[in-house]
Every structure is written in C-alpha cells, then in structure tokens.
Amino acid sequence: MAAMKIDVKGKNLEITPALRAYAEKKISKFEKFFSDGNGEHQSIAVMMMRTEREVHIAELTIEYRGLVLRGEGRTVDMYNSIDEAVDRIERQWNKFKTKIQRRFQGPKLGEMAPPADDGLGAGAADRDFRIVKVKRFPYKPMAVEEAIMQMELLGHDFFVFTNADDDQINVVYKRSDGNYGLIEPEF
C-alpha cells in the first residue's frame, strides 16, 4: 500500500497530463516523511489548482495522523506556483521537526529571550467585522502540546481544539511575549 494518496484537482482549469505528472512528482517527495512502513496510517495530499485574473494558484494540503500542513503558491505560471506551494510545506515540515527536537533538547542560548513585541495592530478600530471565509478542519481530541504544534504549523496565532484530557473545547494562543496561553471553559 502506498504511504501517500495524491489527488490533483482543478477548479475552472483543465489539468493536463504533464501538469498532473509534475504535481504528483513534486508531492511524492513527501512520502518519505509520512511513511510508517506498514501503510496503516496513509497520508493524503490534495493539490487544488485554479486561476484568478491571470494568477495561477496552487494550494497543497497534506493530512497525516491528524496533522495538517497547508501551502499555497501564487505566480504567473502554474509550475512555479506548484513549486512555491511544495516549498512552503517543506518549510513547515522542517519547522515541525525542529520544534520536536527542541522539545527534547531544550532551546538554544540565543533563543532564551524572544524579542519584545508591543502587539498593537494599526487600524483595529477601522475594521469591518464580517465573516468572509469559513474554514473546516479534521476533528480529533489532542493534547495541548499537539495543539500548539498544529497552530505553529498552520502559522496561526490561535487554535481551537478539544482537549484529550477532559474532552472540553480549549483555545491555545500565541502571546505577544512569545509564550503560549491556554483558554479553558469554566462553567
């Protein structure tokens, strides 16, 4: 059984055999990262390609054991967009591996004191508060540490999850001092 299922799709765009082969070849290099040898936990990679106003967009999503990696490329050439999306996923994976290693080895000396950030966003009062996009994601209970890693991999400032310890919905978030916070419900 293959370690990774690759699905290449087009939205308002015809996927040529050459384009499909190129995308599959680029994505298949991740099989070595997501292979557990016995094929029980198959990873899924979905490449969605589309064009918007002469901009070629390639969105790559890889799911493996509840871990979700996303990368997007936007260029004037679909092949370059695919390369950009794959490069972003590779950077996320390397960041993830580094975080795992640091968990066991501890931070380096230069990482002990993160730079200060005032956390004040310009123009916050001028924003129009309306929902412009709805995101859906795979649901599974997880530990707080796993939620923090998922948040970092997605590049978000917060992450909503169900805590595996108490089955309650929690939120982890990145604080302006570089540390993390946890919001737990209180009834």
Per-domain boundaries in the chain = 4-105, 137-187
pTM (2 d.p.): 0.56
pLDDT digits 0-9 by tens, 75-119: 999 999 999 999 999 888 888 777 766 766 665 555 555 555 545
Any idea which residue has 């298949």 for tokens?
28
Class level of CATH domain 137-187:
alpha beta
Q: Given 1.20.1250.20, 3.40.50.300, 3.90.320.10, 3.30.160.100, which CATH number is that of 4-105?
A: 3.30.160.100
CB neighbourhood size of 26 (10 A): 20
Rounded to an integer, the average pLDDT of 134-160 is 85
**Domain pair 4-105 / 137-187, same fold:** no
Quick one: CA dihedral 9, 12, 17, 22, positive or negative? negative
